[in-house]
Structure 1
Amino acid sequence: MSLRTIVALAVLAVLSPAAWAQGYPSRPVRVIVTFPPGGTPDIYGRVMSAELQKIWNQSVVVENRTGAGGTIGTDYVAKAAPDGYTLLFAADATITIAPHLYSKLPYDPVRDLAPIVNVTAGPFVLMANPAFAPNNVKELIALVQSQPGKVSYASSGAGGQQHLAMEYIRTMAGSMDMIHVPYKGFGQGIADVLANQVPLIFGGITASIQLTKSGKLKALAVTGPKRAKALPNVPAVAETLPGFDITAWYGFLAPAGTPREIVKKIHDDSVAVIKRPDFIERLDRDGIDPVGNTPEEFAAQIKTDLAHWAKIVKAAGAKLD
């Protein structure tokens, strides 16, 4: 092999990754959302996809692949070609909680997926029917401990974040004997709380802002590490139980093995959207925070969250198979 050929091959090896990114995307990109249309993951998955479509001048098609708590769609992306043309807009539950709920999950979130960027993060809100006596977590704990086995709470299903959030409170508070009433979705649960059939439920902050500001329900606490900007008068659970933190996030991931240059391009273009004032203003209205971390930071966050949720799921004794 001549010296000229060796040099040419070396240059090609160096330039090829950059060329991949420069030419990406050259055809439509699919974004898989693992939850039904209308929910927060779907809304922000579509917002981000529409903005990336403008930047790339290429079609970005959102596809809802639902079922099994989001694990079906996640597995689909994990097994897709690692070329950047099939992306996952994930909710944290399918990445950091599902591995602890299912004994035979068909994917490993660390091994099979490449984190790109955490787009947004926001807390849940513990809400109660206005007729319910406690107005904060401290009063709730006192009531439950004085009436063991009598206070109930609703959730959107066993093993979901709403269920686990209350189990986390119970674990940290000590003796709290409560009745869990799981529903098939948030809509059914919230209907019974509004009707005062069940007094308590956790909700995502966007829906909770509307429900509490209208006076239909009252907010007892938010689940993030501090008070939410959108609900500044509502205390954080951590003010009563230090260290408590349950924050839902949504972000982009790709199949493992996707070229780093393509991951970087998707990341950089996504962050450009996340930093835009109009996008931040929309998040503020919904009570959600922008994130925009690096792929490396996102990967580290996922590993930390996996360990965090392992303890909560174990304490709750929750299993879905």
Structure 2
Amino acid sequence: MAGFTALAAARPALSQASFPNRTLRLIVPYAAGGQSDVTARILGEGLGRVLGQSVVVENRTGAGGIIGTEAGAKADPDGYTLTVGTIATHAIVPVLQPKVPYDHVRDFAPVSLLIRQPLVLAVTPSLPVQNLDELLAYAKAGRGPLSFGSSGIGTSLHLAGEIFKLRVGAPTMEHVPYRGSGPMMNDLIGGQIQLTFDAPLTTLPFVQNGQVRAIAVTTPQRLAAAPDLPAVAERLPAFDVQSWTALFAPSRTPRPVLDRLNAAVQEVWAQPEVQKRLRDLGAEPAAGPAADLASFVAGETEKWGGVIRAAKVQPQ
């Protein structure tokens, strides 16, 4: 009986020591082709090489990322099913939505931050402003209609506009939500809305074609990919809005497994070719210790909760 007990106790340790010995799954709670999905596929390729196992990306869409994230929270805590979380799923939605079927802190073990991504503030060409100073003056004076689009209520694009509105002091700015960046950009080009915040990957091609006008970026510093664009923080000190993506495991995943995954992510992200692929997407590689991700999520939740309350944002 004692021998049987000892053998049973040894099995989890043996399993952890041999991790991984089968295919891993990355749940992406958004559709294929988006920033989180592309990041997950780059990560999956790299983890496959480092860990010596296949890595499958599974897109579980719906409810603004809630469905896929819930599936990740309920997965077996063995390290073989991981969730690609975002600023929305792990900082905004838990504050904005009254009933979320997962706890973004209790149900997940942080593995590593993956990327940070700035947003580009762009305006329709018909808006009579050429630079950030002129836009700020126009917004404060309420000289004409000023609506900003986003890819949906409670997204980082939406809250970027809300915090800009609060900081500028432009009470007449109105939010227009869309079902994605595509239709939003079409209306920006057509002048149905006057400005928006969106990812560089989405915005800069329209800027280069002359269809929209880029005004600024939302990171504290200028972007290497667009050095002529000022940071909003140059006129609104401490303005910092960045979208981000991170990797999570289910809570109760054994610490040795989490440590192995974190080390693998950092090894993949340290490769120059991987860093170039991410930066070509307008993202900044941001892998680091799991403890850093835990404190980062706590700070982001507090920050965006404050914006949601100050702007009186209501869920859909």
Give the TM-score, by structure 1 length.
0.92
CA distance, structure 1, for counterparts of residue 144 and residue 204 of structure 2: 30
Structure-2 residue corresponding to 1:238: 233
Question: Any conservation in 1 of the 2:122–2:197 contact (CA below 8 Å)?
Answer: yes
Alpha-carbon offset, residue 17 of structure 1? 6.9
Larger mean Cα displacement after TM superposition, 69-78 or 141-150: 141-150
CA distance, structure 1, for counterparts of residue 144 and residue 129 of structure 2: 16
CA distance, structure 1, for counterparts of residue 153 and residue 297 of structure 2: 22
Alpha-carbon offset, residue 149 of structure 1? 6.8
Residue 104 of structure 2 corresponds to residue 109 of structure 1: yes
Question: Any conservation in 2 of the 1:129–1:200 contact (CA below 8 Å)?
Answer: yes
Q: Structure 2: where are the runs of 5+ without partners?
A: none
Structure-2 residue corresponding to 1:259: 254
Structure-2 residue corresponding to 1:280: 275
Aligned to 1:228, the other structure's residue is in SS state: coil
Structure-2 residue corresponding to 1:151: 146
Which of 45, 63, 73 is equivalent to 2:40?
Answer: 45
CA distance, structure 1, for counterparts of residue 205 and residue 274 of structure 2: 20
Structure-2 residue corresponding to 1:91: 86
State how 1:5-16 maps to structure 2 within 5 Å.
Answer: none
CA distance, structure 2, for counterparts of residue 58 and residue 259 of structure 1: 19
Residue 116 of structure 2 corresponds to residue 121 of structure 1: yes
Question: Any conservation in 2 of the 1:100–1:310 contact (CA below 8 Å)?
Answer: yes
State how 1:9-28 maps to structure 2 within 5 Å.
Answer: 19-28=14-23
CA distance, structure 2, for counterparts of residue 16 and residue 118 of structure 1: 31
Structure-2 residue corresponding to 1:249: 244
CA distance, structure 1, for counterparts of residue 264 and residue 244 of structure 2: 19
Alpha-carbon offset, residue 115 of structure 1? 0.7
Instruction: Summarize deviations over 1:251-310 as a string: whole Å, max 9, x none.
Output: 110101101111111111111110101011112222211111100011010101111111
Structure-2 residue corresponding to 1:220: 215
CA distance, structure 2, for counterparts of residue 105 and residue 20 of structure 1: 33
Aligned to 1:202, the other structure's residue is in SS state: strand
Structure-1 residue corresponding to 2:166: 171
Alpha-carbon offset, residue 18 of structure 1? 6.2
CA distance, structure 1, for counterparts of residue 237 and residue 300 of structure 2: 18
CA distance, structure 1, for counterparts of residue 124 and residue 264 of structure 2: 43
CA distance, structure 2, for counterparts of residue 26 and residue 186 of structure 1: 40
Q: Structure 1: where are the runs of 5+ without partners?
A: none
Residue 307 of structure 2 corresponds to residue 306 of structure 1: no
CA distance, structure 2, for counterparts of residue 59 and residue 282 of structure 1: 21
Structure-2 residue corresponding to 1:75: 70
Instruction: Summarize deviations over 1:9-54 as a string: whole Å, max 9, x none.
Output: 6xx97x8776444311122211100110111100111111122122
Alpha-carbon offset, residue 111 of structure 1? 0.8
CA distance, structure 1, for counterparts of residue 223 and residue 12 of structure 2: 42
Change (3 A) 1:149 1:313: farther
Aligned to 2:230, the other structure's residue is in SS state: coil
Structure-2 residue corresponding to 1:139: 134
Instruction: Summarize deviations over 1:172-211 as a string: whole Å, max 9, x none.
Output: 1224311222111111100111122222111112222322
CA distance, structure 2, for counterparts of residue 143 and residue 175 of structure 1: 9
Give the TM-score, by structure 2 length.
0.93
Change (3 A) 1:19 1:133: farther
Alpha-carbon offset, residue 145 of structure 1? 2.6
Alpha-carbon offset, residue 140 of structure 1? 1.8
CA distance, structure 1, for counterparts of residue 164 and residue 131 of structure 2: 12
Aligned residues: 315
Residue 277 of structure 2 corresponds to residue 296 of structure 1: no
**What is the one-letter code of the residue matched to 1:239?**
E
